[in-house]
A and B are shown apart, each in its own frame.
Chain A
């Protein structure tokens, strides 16, 4: 079985380069290649398929942030890194649910990932804040902000889309929306 698994897993270098280039193909191979490993770990340690999905996706996000921040060195196998990160995340979740965390069944080697997990937790906090700020922002502000800042639409496109008579009106609206978003973000 291990042979079959490893054949579908891309090489570590491929993955790292793929992440840096935003390659969908690399994400595809990475995601499908290592999921069984994490699923096995979670299922055998008090978790179900949904837990495995959540933990695994968080683990991949940690890897992405780490690689993109540029300080990812292939000092260990990528497999070991992913396993260790997901293991740490799951143990924390188990502890939060005050389920027992002794007698962990392990299937891979483990390395310390404490620092990365802490970084990730801070990022998640920002993520949640931004998510709730955007949610509370309401329409049309939310769409305007997303269109301008995330989808890189021009002010011209936006004023047409929302039916503003000129781009200046759209600009004013966008500015107001941005002020509100900042307020919501820093308040929470």
Chain B
């Protein structure tokens, strides 16, 4: 063992270049002659190398750990981490797919536009407002006359109709501006046939939205079951609406087909594949959970199912533009959504109490 130990110490000195010239020559000669010694030198060198590598990696790791403490990881992760919103995550993850879908829709719109060029009448945007005068002689107007004589004093049939929905339980109602624009007087009628006079409280020409206020101060609704969706909604998501293309509320179902409106770069609107008719203007567009995602505004003439809806975030925007004191009582939007989890038919049933037919006299 003594020999082995001496040998190893010589090998170490040799590897570290600590041998004198004569020793070095002697050792190299020995190494050249005895392959067992040569083997030992190689083995020992390899082992020492991995020991040194271990040491330098340990040192590097401990330096990095010290450096790591200097980084404010928490605030960085807040900045760089995934967005808490589910929708935005979906957007980030499926950006490519959405891009393809969007460009497809864009292409369709371009084609649509070129059709327009050829036949001037086709494809113009028709505001989905109902000209009730046309129905004067129909059965419908007869029924309504009977209804309205029973409930209200107003016997004259309205000229135009649209849809609106409650923003608060104290009588603020949202509809499209084009429904009530230029009106002499505006009334709303609920699904039970009760009619209320309203004043146009707020007009927003940019998004084509208007806020109505029921004049009767005693008017009171139960708590609103739906919620205004703050984020956006994705392409392909199922949506539905309730509106008054006739004198009874009509349910219609569809899906979001594009995140932009008519011109393709109108990001204030969605394109929705849903069958609506004159009279649906101003109606709420709801997602499957009963969140309001938009307001039905217009549709393409002669193209089925190409309807446009103003995005819900602009409702919030115009609400924010009104100072609370000018509203009298603050506009509240329920945070809780009691429609979630209900079937569509139950949701629609619950919704009915909160949507109104907007009747306009010019």
Binding site for B on A (CB under 8 A): 24, 27-28, 31-32, 35-36, 39-40, 43-44, 49, 52-53, 57, 60-61, 64, 103, 105, 123, 126-127, 130-131, 134, 145-146, 149-150, 171-172, 175, 178, 182, 185
Do B5 and A171 touch (CB < 8 A)?
A: yes
The 8 A CB mask of B38-61 against A (1 = contact, 0 = none) is: 000000000110111111010011
B99 surroundings in chain A (CB, below 8 A): none
Do B53 and A126 touch (CB < 8 A)?
A: yes
Interface check B67, CB cutoff 8 A: yes
A39 surroundings in chain B (CB, below 8 A): 73, 76-77, 80
Do A43 and B81 touch (CB < 8 A)?
A: yes
Do B60 and A60 touch (CB < 8 A)?
A: yes
Closest B residue, CB atoms, query A19: B60
Listed residue (A64, A149, A185) with the most chain B CB atoms within 10 angstroms of its CB: A149
Interface check B23, CB cutoff 8 A: no
Listed residue (A24, A44, A171) with the most chain B CB atoms within 10 angstroms of its CB: A44
Given contacts A149-B51, A178-B8, contact A61 B81 (CB under 8 A): no
Interface check B362, CB cutoff 8 A: no
Do A32 and B64 touch (CB < 8 A)?
A: no
Contact count A vs B, C-beta below 8 Å: 82
Closest B residue, CB atoms, query A40: B80
Closest B residue, CB atoms, query A178: B8
Do B9 and A61 touch (CB < 8 A)?
A: no
Do B5 and A172 touch (CB < 8 A)?
A: yes
Do A127 and B57 touch (CB < 8 A)?
A: yes
Do A127 and B53 touch (CB < 8 A)?
A: yes
Q: CA of A52 to CA of B71 in the docked complex: distance in angstroms?
A: 12
Subset of 9 A-B contacts with CB under 8 Å: A24-B63, A32-B70, A35-B68, A40-B80, A43-B81, A43-B82, A57-B65, A61-B60, A123-B53
Could you tell me the dominant secondary structure of chain B's interface residues? helix
Closest A residue, CB atoms, query B61: A57
Q: B93 contacts which of A103, A149, A182 (Cβ < 8 Å)?
A: A103
Do A150 and B52 touch (CB < 8 A)?
A: yes
Closest A residue, CB atoms, query B73: A49
Q: CA of A64 to CA of B76 in the docked complex: distance in angstroms?
A: 25
Binding site for A on B (CB under 8 A): 4-5, 8-9, 47-48, 50-55, 57, 60-61, 63-65, 67-68, 70-71, 73-74, 76-77, 80-82, 92-93
Q: A27 contacts which of B48, B57, B64, B70 (Cβ < 8 Å)?
A: B64
Q: CA of A44 to CA of B70 in the docked complex: distance in angstroms?
A: 23
A105 surroundings in chain B (CB, below 8 A): 92-93
Do B47 and A32 touch (CB < 8 A)?
A: no
| CB proximity of B214 to chain A, nearest CB, Å | 48
Q: CA of A31 to CA of B66 in the docked complex: distance in angstroms?
A: 11
Q: CA of A61 to CA of B60 in the docked complex: distance in angstroms?
A: 8
Q: B54 contacts which of A24, A36, A127 (Cβ < 8 Å)?
A: A127
A40 surroundings in chain B (CB, below 8 A): 80-81
Do A36 and B76 touch (CB < 8 A)?
A: yes
Do A32 and B71 touch (CB < 8 A)?
A: yes
A44 surroundings in chain B (CB, below 8 A): 80-82, 92
| CB proximity of A109 to chain B, nearest CB, Å | 16
| CB proximity of A114 to chain B, nearest CB, Å | 21
Closest A residue, CB atoms, query B54: A130
Closest A residue, CB atoms, query B94: A103
Closest A residue, CB atoms, query B80: A40
Do A171 and B68 touch (CB < 8 A)?
A: no
| CB proximity of B249 to chain A, nearest CB, Å | 41
B51 surroundings in chain A (CB, below 8 A): 130, 145, 149-150
Q: CA of A61 to CA of B59 in the docked complex: distance in angstroms?
A: 11
Q: CA of A130 to CA of B60 in the docked complex: distance in angstroms?
A: 16
Do B9 and A35 touch (CB < 8 A)?
A: no
* 10 nearest A-B pairs in the assembled complex, by CB-CB distance: A40-B80, A43-B81, A130-B54, A150-B55, A175-B5, A31-B67, A44-B82, A57-B64, A49-B73, A126-B50
| CB proximity of B40 to chain A, nearest CB, Å | 11
| CB proximity of B70 to chain A, nearest CB, Å | 7
A146 surroundings in chain B (CB, below 8 A): 55
A150 surroundings in chain B (CB, below 8 A): 51-52, 55
B76 surroundings in chain A (CB, below 8 A): 35-36, 39
Given contacts A171-B5, A175-B5, contact A36 B80 (CB under 8 A): yes
Q: CA of A146 to CA of B55 in the docked complex: distance in angstroms?
A: 9
Q: CA of A154 to CA of B4 in the docked complex: distance in angstroms?
A: 20
Do B68 and A53 touch (CB < 8 A)?
A: yes
Q: CA of A49 to CA of B74 in the docked complex: distance in angstroms?
A: 8
Listed residue (B50, B57, B82) with the most chain A CB atoms within 10 angstroms of its CB: B57
Q: CA of A58 to CA of B68 in the docked complex: distance in angstroms?
A: 13
Do B67 and A27 touch (CB < 8 A)?
A: yes
B67 surroundings in chain A (CB, below 8 A): 27-28, 31-32
Do B77 and A49 touch (CB < 8 A)?
A: yes
User: Beyond A32-B70, A57-B68, A130-B51: 15 further Cβ-contacts under 8 Å?
Assistant: A27-B67, A31-B67, A32-B67, A39-B73, A39-B76, A126-B50, A126-B53, A130-B50, A134-B54, A146-B55, A149-B51, A149-B55, A171-B5, A182-B47, A185-B50
